[in-house]
Amino acid sequence: MNKLAEMPAISVIIPAYNERDSIEDCVAQLREMLVGAAFTGEIIVVNDGSTDGTGEIADRLEGIRVHHHDQNRGYGAALKTGMRHAKGEVLVIADADGTYPIERIPDLVAALEDHDMAIGARTGDNVNVPFIRRPAKWFITVLASYLSEKEIPDLNSGLRAFRRRDAMRLFGILPDGFSFTTTITLAMLTSGMRVKFIPIDYFERTGPSKIRPVRDTWNFIVLIVRTCALFNPLKVFLPPAIVTFAAGFIKAAYDAVVHHDVHDSQLLLITTGLVLGAIGVLADIVTRTRLVLRD
C-alpha cells in the first residue's frame, strides 16, 4: 500500500529556511518512515524564503508537496502555512535540520489515541543541546511549569503530533516566530487538554542554528506570561497582587503604630494590590466563561 496517499491520515509539516544541506535527507527519512507506518501520510515542505537553494532542491524531490514564501516570515508562519494546506486529520511537525529522530513519529501518532497532543521531549539518552542555551532553557521551563501548574519536561520541542481541528481553534493566537511551539504547548496545558511527553533523542543539527539566545529568551519569557494570562490569569495576577497588598498593609500598620502616621505611598501599594487582584479575578471569570461556552 502506498503510504503517500491522496487522502492521508496524517500530514507531516517541515518548515525549512536555508536547509539545503539537510532537506533531502530529511524527506528521505520521512518517506522511509511512512512506508513502514500503519497509517497513510503526506509530506509538506514549507520553504520559508530560503536564499541558499533549499526551495529548488525541495521542488525536485518526488512524493511531497512544497509551498514557498517569497520572503522569510518565521518558523511559526511556515507551520501555519502547512496547517492551512494539510489534508490529514493529524498534523505532525518536525525540523529539517536532522536534529529529531524521524522514526519516533509513529509513537507520537499512536499516543493521540488517548491524548490531544504528543510531544517528543528531548530527555532521552542522547541529547545535544548547546551548553550556552541550557540555563535559559531551564529557566523558561521552570517558569512555564509554575504558571501552567503542570510539569513540562520540554516546552518547545519541534517534534510533536496533534489534531488539526484543535490547532485551528488556536490558530489566531499562534505566533509567526519560534515561539509557535511554546504557545501551543501552554495553550493546550492551561486549557485542560491532555498532553503526553515522550522521551526522545536530540542530535546535533546540520548547519548553523537560527536561534538568537538573548532576544529569543526574552521573547519566550514574555510569551509564557502572556499565554498563561490568557488561559490561567489568576496564576499571573494573584502573586504580585498579594505581595503588593501585603507590603503596603504591613508598612502602613507599622507606621500607624510606631509613628502614628500613614503615608500615601503605602495606601498606593494597598490599592495597587487590590486592583491587580480584581483584574485577575475578572480575567479568570472571562476565561472560565469562554471555556464553558466553547465546550
Residue 59 has pLDDT above 90, yes or no: yes
The residue type found at 97 is D
Per-residue pLDDT, 207? 59
Residue 24 has pLDDT above 60, yes or no: yes
The secondary element (H helix, E strand) that includes residue 244 is helix 233-258
The CATH architecture annotation of domain 10-231 reads Alpha-Beta Complex (3.90)
Burial of 283: CB neighbours in 10 Å, binned 0-12, 13-18, 19+: middle
Task: Kindly state the DSSP code that residue 161 receives in the 8-state scheme.
Answer: E
CA pair distance 213, 219, nearest whole angstrom: 10
238-245: average pLDDT? 92
Identify the band that residue 231 occupies on the pLDDT scale cut at 50, 70 and 90. Answer: confident
Identify the band that residue 1 occupies on the pLDDT scale cut at 50, 70 and 90. Answer: very low
CA pair distance 58, 78, nearest whole angstrom: 15
Q: Cα 53 from chain centroid?
A: 28
Q: Cα 142 from chain centroid?
A: 15
Per-residue pLDDT, 188? 92
Per-residue cell: 133: 542555551
What are the phi and psi torsion angles at 205 (to 5°)?
A: -75, 155
Residue 293 has pLDDT above 50, yes or no: no
Q: Check if the beta carbon of residue 3 is closer than 8 Å to that of residue 15.
A: no
The secondary element (H helix, E strand) that includes residue 121 is strand 117-121
CA pair distance 138, 142, nearest whole angstrom: 6
Per-residue pLDDT, 292? 47
| Signed CA dihedral, 28, 29, 30, 34: sign only | positive
Per-residue cell: 267: 495606601
For residue range 140-176, list pLDDT tens digits in order: 888 888 888 889 999 989 999 999 999 999 998 899 9
The residue type found at 54 is T
| pTM for this entry | 0.79
Identify the band that residue 209 occupies on the pLDDT scale cut at 50, 70 and 90. Answer: low
CA pair distance 268, 48, nearest whole angstrom: 50
For residue range 61-118, list pLDDT tens digits in order: 999 999 999 999 999 999 999 999 999 999 999 999 989 999 999 999 999 999 999 9
Per-residue pLDDT, 258? 84
Identify the band that residue 234 occupies on the pLDDT scale cut at 50, 70 and 90. Answer: confident
CA pair distance 10, 25, nearest whole angstrom: 20
Q: Check if the beta carbon of residue 190 is closer than 8 Å to that of residue 231.
A: yes
How is the chain split into domains, by residue range?
A: 10-231, 233-294
